[in-house]
Copies of this chain bind each other. A is one copy, B any other.
């Protein structure tokens, strides 16, 4: 087909490629388009050595990025060609859709090997997506210790601390010295230590957590220092059942790099590290952005069908509420028929009311996520939203009234516009904070459930007040 498919040209291509891998990732951390094209070519050629070298030299996160940039066909073929050479960490870094595709493409043997390499939290993350039969087959090929750790992690619900935590951590008896702890870490096998860790945990003989010592604390104190003299109480105790959003809040609140997880008896059972929590923080914020716009899911390389499924429920609901509003408007057919200007102006009332409501809603959803609307603060926020709505309402309604006066030279119509807009703003401001607050107190996600309720009520309110006043004053 093209030159690079000529088998004689292979060596030349691979040689050129070798010098290029170092330039695959641009300064900004983005994969260079030229390099992607080269990889697509290599996949087409079945040039395994080049692909193996590439995944070996690149950071796993960049390997994941690179794979996601390949067209679907090339992606599958690349996974196939790479097989067990594909680093497990790269698979864990793939986006949801791509990860599922990759898992389908990989053999059980390749997956067993990967799972053995990963920390238990990442291993159970990968296996969580695989159907049970296959998972059992894969787990039967990993060591008993790894299997136990992964299975106990999978026993916790999704989106809990139990799923985020890893089983590998460093614990030391509370009576040890700094030197004993360091010697211990120097003698245990590499496999028994987590890949990275930022603190060690001190436990009593019953393995109950007594305190933590940052690793940087170990290297700044003399060997003979007693650990219990430099330990601090853990600022938070994470339980395995805790929701991951709560975990993320605690990490942010207390600037944590890692945290111990303890069971109901206070026994140390795992460790959560910040890299997993950063993903949660990012996810939760993104979920709120999408939910406020009525999208349940989105992602790089999402399929069209999945995008349709993620967005149509909201649109269908919206269609119902929009026709509800339109039935309300139809009740005022007589006055619209008489004063056609009402038809030009009513969209202005609901558009502005909707904007003001969206503003309140976004502020409230954000504040709830940051726990800024607890107790006393909620009352203050409601007061602020009401006053803000009143002032912005007066400003915008005044201007709108003025425009109507100048446009139609009709004082009554201008007054109707002014009153309708001001009251719609007031409603928008109040419902924009009260709805998400109420929904969140009921234990539901305010970002998901509030939008439709808030915006529909504002539409109905706007149309009703505007057309109702017009019926009273203009007929």
Contact = CB atoms under 8 A, between A and B. Distances in A.
A462 to B, nearest CB: 10
A356 B322 CA distance: 13
Nearest to A307: B388
A250 B59 CA distance: 12
A36 B362 contact: no
A278 interface: yes
B362 A292 contact: yes
Given A285-B285, A285-B286, A293 B367 contact: no
A385 B311 CA distance: 11
Interface residues of A, number: 132
A121 interface: no
Contacts of A340: 333, 336-337
How many copies of this chain sit in the oligomeric assembly? 2
Contacts of A346: 343, 347
A282 interface: yes
A288 interface: yes
Contacts of A441: none
Interface string A310-351: 011011101100110111011001001100111111111011
Contact of A281 (B278, B347, B372): B278
Interface of A: 28-31, 33, 36, 59, 61-62, 65, 68-69, 71, 95, 181-182, 185-186, 190, 193-194, 196-198, 214-216, 218-222, 235-236, 246, 249-257, 273-275, 277-279, 281-282, 285-286, 288-290, 292-295, 298-304, 307-308, 311-312, 314-316, 318-319, 322-323, 325-327, 329-330, 333, 336-337, 340-348, 350-352, 355-356, 358-359, 361-363, 365-367, 369-372, 374-377, 380-381, 384-385, 387-388, 391-392, 395-396, 399-400, 403, 459, 463
19 contacts: A61-B254, A69-B375, A69-B377, A181-B219, A197-B216, A257-B257, A257-B275, A277-B278, A278-B278, A286-B366, A286-B370, A293-B362, A304-B387, A315-B352, A316-B399, A318-B352, A319-B399, A329-B344, A347-B459
